[in-house]
Amino acid sequence: MRNFFWVLLALALVACSPDNDSATPAQVAAPGSPENWRLEISLPHEVLPVQLHLAADFTAAWIENGAERVLIPEIHREGSHLQLRFPAFNNTLDLQLSGDHMTGELTLVKRGYEQRMPVSGTRGLAYRFSPNPAAAVDVTGRWEVVFTEEGGEDNGETIQAVAELDQQGSHVVGTFLTPTGDYRYLEGEVNERQLKLSTFDGAHAYVFTALMDGDGALTGDMWSGTRGHESWVARKNFDAKVADPYALTFLKEGYDSLAFTFPDLDGHPVSLADDAYKGKVVLVTLSGTWCPNCADEVAFLTDYFGRNRDRGVEIITLLYEHFDDFERAAAQGKALRDQYGIEYEVLVAGVSDKVQAAETLPMLNAVVAFPTMIFLDRAGKVRRIHTGFSGPGTGAHYAKFRANFDQIMDELLAESAP
């Protein structure tokens, strides 16, 4: 069964050009035997471990976070230098190989700056945080969580969240759900009374740590890249819930519809008032190529559109990127479109600052989060607005969202066009 898994995964991975040792999304070939590499990404106050699987012939690579497999779309090799690129996120891992070791740097492109973090790696190590963790407590269950921002403009601001954790032995998987989305697939361990979780998916670089006290509460820290730090406290609560995602974003008084015109990825103006959308149920999504939750939503919507486009549904994704240069933003949009096989409209709407994004859609109370999904009926009226996205890493929560989404869309599609 394990060999069969590698065969299936190989079919999905991109391959290296025999001419220049560069893997591109358009090239497909079977990879060599995969080798495990344990990477350590050095954040300012924590080490983020990464399980990298790299084909021996450097034609394929992927990262594991629990049940998630993050395929790395582009691999470039020149001698002992290896560059792993995540083109839809515009981030890179530059690595220098030396026998069973590698060193290098992770670069994450943010709005107006870059985060650079040292990376080291060793071949053949399969553990995440500790080679032999021994758990003294069990964190399985649902937890009511409060995150508190430390430093920066939002110092002291709190966010209510829910943690869903599953522990088997010392091994732990799970995620945190917030009112605006989730932290996707987290994996880690319990060693004695300490919990550690992490993820790196090409965009997120997160480490969560906590200690369980004598009353069963978890108290710890969350580190994100080179700048993000939040403290958090959690207590078990089976009834813990996050805020209703359909109640966070809404139309201002006096509005019942949307109106906009933005350029598509080739620079041509597209308006919601165009004939292509008249009499259709339209989903408008506020998104960004830098946002993994948005990528989860893109995968979901691409599948839905492929199965339902003939029923009278259209989708428009508005991209808000980390830079205001149209050509760069459009290039990122094209990389996203190619990676996910998007067949609906993708427009460049603005920059990823939420205040500035809200100015492009003044009928909204605010842009609370990326992604945000707006449901319009056949008459062009806004019927629902969903803030954030709880993706497949949230398990039952994702299944509940899908069922609710299908119900809303079926009701809208059953209505007669005006």
Token duo for residue 91: 């981030």
Domains identified in the chain and CATH numbers: 2-123 (2.40.160), 141-236 (2.40.128.120), 261-414 (3.40.30.10)
Residue with tokens 């890179």: 92
Residue type, 337: R
C-beta pairs of 306-311 under 8 Å, 24+ apart in sequence: 306/343, 308/409, 308/413, 309/343, 311/413
- The DSSP annotation for 217-238 comes to -EEEEEEETTTEEEEEEEEE-T
- Residue 23's pLDDT is 32
- Residue 151's pLDDT is 72
Weakest-pLDDT range from 93-102, 152-161, 381-390:
152-161
Q: What is the pLDDT of residues 122-141, one digit of tens each?
A: 999 999 999 999 999 999 99
- Interval 24-35 mean pLDDT: 47
How many angstroms separate the CA atoms of 33 and 363, rounded? Answer: 54
How many angstroms separate the CA atoms of 353 and 331, rounded? Answer: 19
Which pTM value belongs to this model? 0.86
* Residues 357, 367 contacting (CB under 8 angstroms): yes
Evaluate if residue 191 carries a pLDDT over 70: yes
Q: How many residues does the chain have?
A: 418
Q: Which residues contact 244 (CB under 8 A, 6 or more apart)?
A: none
Nearest to 174, CA basis, from 409, 388, 396: 396
- Residue 88's pLDDT is 87
Q: How far is CA 98 from the centre of its chain?
A: 32
What DSSP element (H or E) covers 132?
none
Bridging pattern class, strands 91-98 and 101-110:
antiparallel
How many angstroms separate the CA atoms of 342 and 302, rounded? Answer: 6
Exposure on the CB side of residue 325, measured as CA atoms within 13 A: 6
Evaluate if residue 332 carries a pLDDT over 70: yes
Evaluate if residue 19 carries a pLDDT over 80: no
- Residue 211's pLDDT is 98
Evaluate if residue 76 carries a pLDDT over 70: yes
- Residue 418's pLDDT is 85
How many angstroms separate the CA atoms of 390 and 396, rounded? Answer: 10
Q: How many beta carbons lie within 10 A of that of residue 1, not counting itself?
A: 4
pLDDT bin (cut points 50, 70, 90) of residue 338 is very high
- The DSSP annotation for 188-223 comes to EEEEBTEEEEEEESSS-EEEEEEEE-TTS-EEEEEE
